[in-house]
Amino acid sequence: MIALQTGKSLGLILCLECRATVRALDVRYPRCPRCHAHLHPRKPHSLALTTALLLCAAVLYIPANLLPVMYTRTVFDEEKDTIMSGVLVMLHSGSWPIAVLVFVASIVVPMLKILALVVVLFSAWRGSARYRTQRSELYRMVEFIGRWSMLDVYAISLLVALVQIRSLASVAVGWGALAFGAVVVLTMVAARTFDERLLWDPPP
């Protein structure tokens, strides 16, 4: 088998900010000649940072789903909605495409994201050589779909702003929404601190 040449084996560093290919110099803190960003052959402390952020996200995923995200008060009663009960309300009121959309964006996507990041993190840590292409694709999918989970946070913020009709009806935010927003942000940052090139590096 022909040994493939990589940036690392040739002494080339890719600047992650401006995508310039830079010949690695023998200085302590190299900077990109084009945009002056700090250069690292691999993202520093990638595995440790991603693991820490992912753990936080996984812990916060529990209150995000159990705590109410929204309280609706009308003259007749007061209701609290978690993310899941919000989906069920929409399903019963007949708007099933919206219910499916919210279910996928708020429940399926965050869970898949956490699981997918665990998979790529574990295989990068083990230096596994199998299914590399699939894992690379999985990681890129996580980066792509990550942002869509914020959908429910925006929907709630609009409901809060609109439904304040004096004594008739009002909507208040619950702490579940903050936990949920935190899960989305933490998983996004976790995906960004992960260096996908670690999936391809030959074991030392």
Partner 1 sequence: MSALIVCPSCDLAHCIGAAPSKERTVCARCGGLLQRAENGNIDAAIALAVSALVLFAFSNAYPLVAIQSNGSGRATTLLGAALGLYRQGHTLLASLVFFTTIAAPFLQITSLLYLLLPLRRRREAPGQRIVFRLLTRIRPWIFVEVFMLGALVALVRLAAFARVVPGVALWSCALLMFTLTALTSRTSPGQFWRWVEDRRA
**Interacting residues toward partner 1 by CB under 8 A:** 4-10, 12, 14, 16-21, 34-37, 90, 93, 95, 98, 101-102, 105, 132-133, 136-137, 140, 147-148, 150-166, 168-169, 172-173, 177-178, 181, 185, 188, 192, 196-197, 199-201
Rounded to whole angstroms, the Cα distance separating 25 from 67 reads 52
Cβ at position 102, least distance to partner 1 in Å: 6
Q: Which amino acid is at 14?
A: L
- Residue of 122, 135, 131, 126 whose CA lies nearest to 204: 126
State in angstroms the smallest separation of the CB of 56 from partner 1.
15
Q: How far apart are CA 43 and CA 201, in angstroms?
A: 13
**Phi and psi at residue 165, in whole multiples of 5°?**
-95, 85
Closer of 54 and 188 to partner 1 (Cβ): 188
Q: Which is nearer to partner 1, 68 or 181 (CB)?
A: 181
Pick from 149, 139, 157: which is nearest to 186 by CA? 149
Q: At closest approach, how far in Å is the CB of 192 from partner 1? A: 7
Based on CB atoms, which residue is closest to partner 1, 102 or 116?
102
Q: How long, in residues, is the chain?
A: 204
Task: Identify which of residues 84 and 173 has a Cβ nearer to partner 1 in the complex.
Answer: 173
CA 45 to chain centre: 18
Structure tokens that stand for 97 in this block: 């495409």
Q: Which is nearer to partner 1, 54 or 199 (CB)?
A: 199
In the bound state with partner 1, the residue whose beta carbon lies nearer, of 66 and 165, is: 165
Nearest to 57 by CA among 118, 128, 100: 118
As measured in angstroms, the least distance from the Cβ of 108 to partner 1 is 15
- The nearest distance, CB 191 to partner 1, in angstroms, is 10
Tokens, residue 90: 């929409």
Least separation, in Å, of the C-beta of 199 and partner 1?
A: 7
**Which amino acid, residue 44?**
P
